[in-house]
Structure formats: C-alpha cells, structure tokens
C-alpha cells in the first residue's frame, strides 16, 4: 500500500508553524500539518475561575471550533444549533488538560490564559495540531508576561506536542491524513512532553480489537513523531525555548 502523499509510513507531514499570525492576542500561531491548518490564539486575562480565586494560582483553558468550510462539505455553526458540538467539547477539554499538565500555576499567578483553536482547513489530525500549535502560542504569551515583569519566572515546565497514529489496511502509520483516518482499523492520538513522558494516549479499535504488539508499535511511532514536532517547536521559539523548564 502506498500513502496518498507518497510519505513513508513512519514520516510526519510537512510542518510549518508561523508565530505572531494574528495582531492582537498575546500569543498567536498558524500551524500547518500537511493540508490541515489551525489558528491558535492565546489570550491573557487578569481573572480566574471561582474555584481559583484567592489561591494565588492561575488557570489554562481552551476552546476549539471548525469553520463551516474547513471541510469538503459545509458544517453548521454551533450557534445555529444552540449548543456546542460534542466533538468540539471533547477536543477543547483535551487541549486544555494537555497544556495544564506542564504549567506551574503559582508562577503564572491569578490570571487565565485561554487558547482559542480555530480549524480553517481540516485534513486529519486537527486536535493534535491544535495542541502542538497552542503550546507555541502559550509560550509566547507567557514570555510576554515575563518580559514585561508581570511574572518572575517562566511558568512552563515542559514542551508538549501531539500526533496521530493508526493502522490502515493492516499497516501501522504515523500522522494520518483524513482519507487514512477514515479507513483506519485502529486510531490513536499520543500527547507527550519533551521528556518523553505521556500526558494522554487515546486509542480505539475502530473495526476490531488490537494487540499489545500493535499498541507498542503505535506508541513508538508516536514517540518518533512527537520528538520531531518538539524539535520544530524549539526551532520556531528560538531563545524562548531556552528558558522553558523542560528544554534540553
């Protein structure tokens, strides 16, 4: 079986991360992974949820949405359905907890950083691209606070990235595009840090159960992809990468 874009089975799609993509947010990134494109904006606000008030600690949260023509057929906006799409809710919770796992909330102080992830073109891996791009936007937002003397140290302890893996027609593959994902026997998302520690592994046997050996193979593929993505994050962030706690 040959992949649609002629990639090797263990090869990620071309990745491009553009910082300062939108003028107004404290951190803004356009991440492109193959044909998937997501805008990730980080907004800093001097307030926290009620359960954090008076704690001296901050909070990280996320919102995720897909533009109506991000896909081949038009999606209906959530506002017209008077409720959020359940898939969007699941994804934004994943983004939020992935980023919160590497934050020192005491160092952030009583403020909230919201990551808005808007998919402008979808071709598989939108949730993983959102996490990878949001981390860079978050780093820029936190560095701005540090540079302006609002906080005393960088509150980010480790880098975070995410990648999809799966089994298509019996073949384990890294970084699935939509056509591959839609035909996958096994579908998995792997979120990890630059210390190769896992934040979350989401895996499903879409058509049949999968073995421990397949699980190991997919995790190894995910490790490879995430290591490459984190290296890309470091290159894009430049000097900022050197003051993130988990950098090496």
Give the 3-state secondary structure percentages of the chain, helix then strand then coil, rounded to 5: 35, 30, 35
> Could you tell me the pLDDT band of residue 108, with boundaries at 50, 70 and 90?
very high
Whole-Å CA distances, 170 to 166, 198, 219 = 9, 25, 16
Nearest Cα neighbor of 117 from 36, 216, 56, 186 is 36
Q: Which tens digit of pLDDT belongs to each residue from 46-98?
A: 999 999 999 999 999 999 998 887 888 888 777 656 566 788 899 999 999 99
Rounded to 5°, angle at Cα 83 from 77 and 89: 90
Give the tokens for residue 115.
């990551």
The structure's pTM equals: 0.93
Q: Is 244 exposed, middle or buried (0-12, 13-18, 19+ CB in 10 A)?
A: buried
15-78+86-243, which class in CATH?
alpha beta
Average pLDDT over residues 222-229: 98
209: alpha, beta or left? (left if phi > 0; alpha if psi -120 to 50): beta
Average pLDDT, the chain: 94
Q: How far apart are CA 101 and CA 109, in angstroms?
A: 16
Give the tokens for residue 187.
């579908």
């Amino acid at each position: 079986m040959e992949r649609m874009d002629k990639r090797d089975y263990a090869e990620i799609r071309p990745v491009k991360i553009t910082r300062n993509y939108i003028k107004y947010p404290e951190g803004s990134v356009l991440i492109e992974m193959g044909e998937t494109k997501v805008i990730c904006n980080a907004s800093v606000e001097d307030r926290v949820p009620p359960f954090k008030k008076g704690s001296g600690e901050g909070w990280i949260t996320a919102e995720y949405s897909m533009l109506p023509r991000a896909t081949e057929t038009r999606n209906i906006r959530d506002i017209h359905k008077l409720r959020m799409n359940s898939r969007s809710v699941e994804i934004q919770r994943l983004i939020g907890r992935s980023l919160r796992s590497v934050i020192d909330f005491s160092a952030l102080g009583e403020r909230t950083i919201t990551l808005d992830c808007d998919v402008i073109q979808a071709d598989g891996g939108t949730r993983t691209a959102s996490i990878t791009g949001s981390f860079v936007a978050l780093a820029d937002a936190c560095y701005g606070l540090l540079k302006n003397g609002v906080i005393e140290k960088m509150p980010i302890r480790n880098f975070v990235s995410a990648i999809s893996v799966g089994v298509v027609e019996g073949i384990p593959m890294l970084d699935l595009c939509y056509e591959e994902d839609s035909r996958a026997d096994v579908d998995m998302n792997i979120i990890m840090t630059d210390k190769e520690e896992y934040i979350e592994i989401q895996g499903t046997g879409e058509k049949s159960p999968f073995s421990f050996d397949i699980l190991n193979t997919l995790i190894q593929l995910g490790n490879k992809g995430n290591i490459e993505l984190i290296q890309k994050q470091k290159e894009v962030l430049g000097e900022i990468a050197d003051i993130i706690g988990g950098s090496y």
